[in-house]
Structure 1
Amino acid sequence: MADRPSAVICMTREAAEAVLPEQLRDRLSETVDLAPDIEPEALTGLSGADGGACAAARSGSPGGAAATALADAEILITGWGCPPLTEEVLDAAPRLRAVIHAAGSVKGHITPAVWQHGITVSSAADANAGPVAEFTYAAIVLAAKQALQGAAQYADGWPHFAEREGTDGRTVGIVGASRTGRRVIARLTASDADYRVLLADPYVTEQQAAALGTELAPLDDLCHRSSILSLHAPELPETRHLLDARRLALLPDGATVVNTARGALIDTDALTRECAAGRLNAYLDVTWPEPLAADHRLLSLRNALITPHVAGAQGNEVRRLGAYAVAETERFVRGEPLEGLVTAADLDRIA
């Protein structure tokens, strides 16, 4: 391809090997001229107080190699470990037109300076939302069947069939119509189980909620009515401890909290007290703090299942993120709309 744009990858070496294996790199090289990868540490060096990018470039240091690669780069493909793209870093990349993130959240490295430079930003969050939604739906089904309670009682005797719980008639409260939240809603409404789905989201109208197959409800009302509550809101100052002691107390006895979003959305101490008392159950893939201390009470409770942040893309699943980023790069080069476009206005609302 004539006049192919130059691109460079910046993420940890481990992430690059998993997210962008040889097959995806070969496909990427059909669209762009791919420069050698930049180590995150070298990019960080460009923001140092040692004279900036120009001095680094003259030094022949790793920072100099990064500056040389950035000087020609029109596309920067980022991933886990990429440091903030500061004004100093962007000064070293005068031709940069797009940052394509081969992971989920861009909050760790996209700064206001990126948009001030007119640079387009894309994220592969859509590709990560699929595995999270699958994990969440599975947790909701387990919660509906009271699997944790059944497992805890197993040794005490096999329950009579009529005493077992099923999924039908369960009310599931979804907090946040995010990428993942909408996928979970779709799974619930398409299920043969007779779930009633409530939605709390300040950015969704009643008409939009109805189109999703849900009933819009204020968060307090949703808590009061839900036998299962699943969190899908971003971590923002206003969402910290969104489920505090007061809202947790609104949940019915025997209700289950599912969190695959961000740990800080829940007051961990308050939830621990509710679970320890046996009033609530929990499926938590994220916690605050993360990880919990090895002797944390939640880890020993049989009505709480704590998993180590595995809902998102894991192992060979992370290739989905790389494939998404490669396809997004192809769309950018062809001048087509980006499916994972992130704007400056989005940053305050997304995870």
Structure 2
Amino acid sequence: MPGRPRAALAMWTDSADAVFDPDTLAALGEVADLEPRVLTDFTTDHARAVLADVEVLVTGWGCPALTSAVLADAPRLRAVVHTGGSVRGHVTPECWDRGVVVSSAAAANALPVAEYAVAMILLTGKRVLERSREHRVTRREDDWLHTPKAIGNFGRTIGLLSASTIGRRVVDLLRPFDFHVLLHDPYVTAEEAKGLGVELVDLPALFARSDLVSVHTPLLPDTRGLVGRELIDAMPPDAVLLNTARGAVVDQAALTDALLENRIRAVLDVTDPEVLPPDHPLWDSDNVLISPHVAGSQGNEWRRLAHAAVAEVERWAAGEGFAHPVRRELFGQLA
């Protein structure tokens, strides 16, 4: 293809091997003149030689920061296509100052996280984890006609903290179910909430009224510890806190106290710190499920990220612009 842009992968080698298989690398090579070696360090002589001609950087986990010095070595760079969600680790304000456009696979990565969240919402409503554990011990038929009325998913109130990309996917996936969905997000208007089909509430009401609160807030300076002791203590008895965002959004000590006192339940794909110390009491708590940060793209789901990146490079090369641009004015609100 004449006039194909010059492109290079910039990330850890392991990231490139995980996200791109031979087929997706070949697809990328069809729409761009791809440098065969992955750039892991922008300071080497080889990297500087590649940067001198590169027009598109396809980035991933482990990409070094695109500082002013790096950008000075890349005078022809016009676009960054990220195969992960957050670009905060490597994209800098200098990129936009230089007129570099940025794309992210956040929308593609949002789907498996949203799927995990919805799966856990449904499982916790039926108390599947606890009842399966009990069944393993008793090995008797369940007395299903005397199941407590609190168990089940009909009419359950689900609270979503933040209408982030993932939060909005969760809203979409919850539509077929008989849930009442609450949302707290200071950037969402009442009109937008109506369009989403959710009830917009303030932060205390979200925790006080929800049978389950699913956290989708990005970790920013003003969201660190946002879910504090007062909000956790306001949750109804046996309510569930589901966190697939970042552990530090939640006050880990307050959450631990509530769980050890059996006041609430939790599903934690992230913790603070990550991983919890081996002797942390939550490891042995029966009312919490701790998964090893598996909600995001893994295994065959990485192909979705690669496909998204190839599509964005193809769109940009054709002059169509990105389908999933990262806007500078929204950079401060992103994870």
Same fold (TM over 0.5): yes
> What is the distance in 1 between the residues matched to 2:87 and 2:39?
18
> What is the distance in 2 between the residues matched to 1:112 and 1:284?
33
Identify the match of residue 156 of structure 2 among 170, 174, 196. Answer: 170
**Residue 264 (1) aligns with residue 245 (2):** no
1:1-351 map, 5 Å: 1-40=1-40, 42-43=41-42, 46=43, 63-154=44-135, 155=137, 159-161=142-144, 162-164=146-148, 165-191=151-177, 194-351=178-335
Moved more, 30-39 or 284-293: 30-39
1:96-139: per-residue Cα shift (whole Å, max 9, x none)?
A: 00000011110100111111111000001111001000000001
> What is the distance in 2 between the residues matched to 1:81 and 1:175?
29
Question: Can you give the 5+ residue segments of structure 1 that lack an aligned partner in the other structure?
Answer: 47-62
Q: Give 1:148 shift.
A: 3.3
> What is the distance in 1 between the residues matched to 2:300 and 2:156?
34
Q: Give 1:337 shift.
A: 2.9
Which AA in structure 2 matches 1:318?
A: W
Secondary structure in 2 aligned to 1:347? helix
Count of aligned pairs = 330
Which AA in structure 1 matches 2:213?
A: L
Q: Give 1:159 shift.
A: 4.5
Which AA in structure 2 matches 1:114?
A: C
> What is the distance in 1 between the residues matched to 2:173 and 2:231?
26
Which AA in structure 2 matches 1:305?
A: L
Q: Give 1:147 shift.
A: 2.3
The answer to whether the 8 A contact 1:152-1:303 is kept is no
> What is the distance in 2 between the residues matched to 1:124 and 1:240?
24
The answer to whether the 8 A contact 1:11-1:78 is kept is yes
> What is the distance in 2 between the residues matched to 1:306 and 1:242?
20
> What is the distance in 2 between the residues matched to 1:317 and 1:116?
33
1:199-249: per-residue Cα shift (whole Å, max 9, x none)?
A: 000011111111111000001011100010000111011111111111101
Secondary structure in 2 aligned to 1:323? helix
> What is the distance in 2 between the residues matched to 1:80 and 1:143?
32
Give the TM-score normalised by the residue count of structure 1: 0.91
Secondary structure in 1 aligned to 2:23? helix
Q: Give 1:6 shift.
A: 0.5
The answer to whether the 8 A contact 1:38-1:66 is kept is no
The answer to whether the 8 A contact 1:148-1:302 is kept is no
Which AA in structure 2 matches 1:174?
A: L
The answer to whether the 8 A contact 2:52-2:75 is kept is yes
Q: Percent identity?
A: 45
Secondary structure in 1 aligned to 2:208? helix
Give the TM-score normalised by the residue count of structure 2: 0.96
> What is the distance in 1 between the residues matched to 2:16 and 2:74?
21
The answer to whether the 8 A contact 1:152-1:302 is kept is no
Which AA in structure 2 matches 1:317?
A: E
Which AA in structure 2 matches 1:160?
A: D
